[in-house]
């Protein structure tokens, strides 16, 4: 094999690798929606519990939170209403995109995702989360219509 043939073979292999890498990244981006806001927290490392109320007035109370980068928080969510609510953590872009998907297909509930917790009427549920990045993030209820009605809040993560 002459060296130019070897070089083009090598190029082919590298291009193939790049394509695989790009595909893997695209995939990871989808599988880890909400990754910018952090990751599922270790319950043993919780430094504080934040109580939140979810109501049929389509509000979270409180609707503004402040945490520190690296902090692991337990959200204790109480649904005081008569319909299902949920809390989804993410960037505003994540939440808006997710709300759009839910509008098109209300059955599109992402069960099992670490950044989502559903709370049945009258029930309390918890979500343990570690905020790994500084910035402004959001939470919202993406039951169709709730986010648009104002069921959302903001979390400032201080570096
Ligand atoms: Cu709701």
Q: What is the pLDDT along the chain (159 residues), one digit of tens a residue?
A: 555 556 665 555 555 544 544 444 433 334 345 578 999 999 999 999 999 999 999 999 999 999 999 999 999 999 999 999 999 999 999 999 888 888 787 666 666 688 999 999 999 999 999 999 999 999 999 999 999 999 999 999 999
Start-to-end C-alpha separation, the chain: 56
Q: How far is the CA of 3 from the centre of ligand 1 (A)?
A: 64
Q: Tokens for 86?
A: 């949920």
Q: How far is the CA of 144 from the centre of ligand 1 (A)?
A: 8
Which residues crowd ion ligand 1, with CB under 5 Å?
A: 85, 141, 143, 146, 151
- Rounded to whole angstroms, the Cα distance separating 36 from 55 reads 27
Q: How far is the CA of 143 from the centre of ligand 1 (A)?
A: 5
Q: Are 91 and 37 in contact (CB under 8 A)?
A: yes
- pTM of the full predicted structure? 0.76
SS3 81: coil
Structural domain spans, the chain:
1-31, 35-158
Q: Is 64 buried (19+), middle (13-18) or exposed (0-12) by CB count in 10 A?
A: exposed
pLDDT value of position 26? 38
Q: How far is the CA of 82 from the centre of ligand 1 (A)?
A: 10
35-158, which class in CATH?
mainly beta
Q: How far is the CA of 44 from the centre of ligand 1 (A)?
A: 29
- Rounded to whole angstroms, the Cα distance separating 109 from 153 reads 20
pLDDT value of position 31? 39
């Amino acid at each position: 094999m002459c060296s130019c043939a070897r070089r083009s073979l090598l190029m082919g292999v590298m291009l193939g690798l790049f394509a695989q890498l790009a595909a893997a990244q695209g995939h990871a981006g989808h599988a880890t929606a909400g990754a910018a806001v952090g990751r599922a927290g270790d319950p043993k490392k919780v430094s504080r519990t934040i109580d939140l109320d979810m109501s049929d007035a389509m509000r979270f109370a409180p609707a503004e939170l402040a945490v520190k980068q690296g902090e692991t928080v337990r959200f204790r969510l109480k649904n005081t209403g008569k319909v299902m609510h949920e809390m989804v953590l993410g960037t505003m872009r994540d939440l808006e995109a997710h709300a759009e998907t839910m509008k098109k297909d209300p059955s599109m509930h992402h069960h099992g995702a670490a950044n989502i917790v559903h709370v049945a009427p009258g029930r309390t549920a918890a979500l343990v989360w570690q905020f790994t990045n500084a910035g402004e993030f959001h939470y919202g209820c993406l039951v169709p219509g709730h986010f648009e009605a104002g069921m959302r809040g903001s979390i400032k993560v201080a570096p």
